Amino acid sequence: MSLVFISHPNCALHDVGNEHPESPERLDAINDRLITSGLDFSLVKLQAEPATKQHLYRVHDQSYVDEIFAKTPEHGMVHLDDDTQMMPRSLDAALYAAGANIMAVDKVMSGEAKQAFCAVRPPGHHAERDKAMGFCIFNNVAVAAAHAMEVYGLERVAIIDFDVHHGNGTENIFFDDPRVLFCSSYQYPFYPHNVGPGNAHILNLPLPPGTDGDSWQEAITEQWLAKIDAFAPQLVLFSAGFDAHFEDDMAHFKLVETDYHWITKEMKKIADKHCGGRMISTLEGGYNYSALGRSVAVHIKAMMD
């Protein structure tokens, strides 16, 4: 089977206002670019099913999950933190976003597909075990990793987070779980304003504003690649944020599409070597529509090649 592209129309229902950068139009930009690039015809498109509370309890405190359900408003909007809001359909979108990652793991681990891309929102990598933050309600990539370990017995899952913001939520969830090798490159100082303590299986890579593709690739080559290879992952997951692109004014990195192609190909070499090419990517940031669409297209193409 070709790469499976998993999404759901309900992921567009989370809409907290025209001024908010994390908008439903992000998914439209991706779909439009896949069509114009010709990739759309090479993908197997699937509609996600919603995650259950039991899926979420694997990575979030039960009290937190239950609180999110209870806080869902019938009208208007509620704030979970300063920049994370919920409106009446936000919970629905978040459940489908997490559920897409469950489906992706099932498709890849069953052998029905080698790779999957989850075009979902809201994003997830800032959501901690008991806290929403940074536009994120549930931690989608963490849900995927936990499902792979719980259901399929995996003992080594690598998560590669190349969003321009530190994946603090994923680090928080897996800090004490050596089955997960978590690698996060990000601009520092910048939101969420922490370097991340890291440990033997949490590889944080804080880089200064203005970092360009050559510097980024050099740092990843020196600090990550050999360690990921030695870890011998049984599954590679991407927290795929594209807000480090130089056209994206969310931050101050200077990456371009070829940098996203490069990191994907480097991880594909490792996945081909250790786990039959099994890779799953889930959308995180990326707020310039044109740059987002182009970057996702090259990322998917690199996964498939």
| Active site residue ranges | 126
Question: In 3D, which of 221, 188, 6, 200 has the Cα closest to residue 96?
Answer: 6
Edge-first strand order for the sheet with 235-240 is: 44-47, 4-7, 115-118, 279-283, 235-240, 157-161, 180-187, 202-207
Closest CA to 186 of 219, 157, 156, 158: 219
Token pair recorded at residue 188: 């520092």
Q: Given its phi and psi angles, is residue 111 left (phi above 0), alpha (psi -120 to 50 degrees) or beta? A: left
d(CA 192, CA 251): 12
- C-alpha–C-alpha distance, residues 181 and 231, integer Å: 8
User: What Cα–Cα distance (Å) separates residue 191 from each residue in 194, 205, 242?
Assistant: 7, 14, 15
DSSP string across 219-240: HHIIIIIHHHHHH--SEEEEEE
How many C-beta atoms surround the C-beta of residue 75 within 10 A?
Answer: 6
SS percent in the chain: helix, strand, coil, step 5: 40, 20, 40
Helices (H) and strands (E) in the chain, counts: 10, 10
CA distance 72 to 124: 18
Query: Which residue's structure tokens are 């039991």?
Result: 54
Question: What is the C-alpha separation between 88 and 76, in angstroms, rounded?
Answer: 7
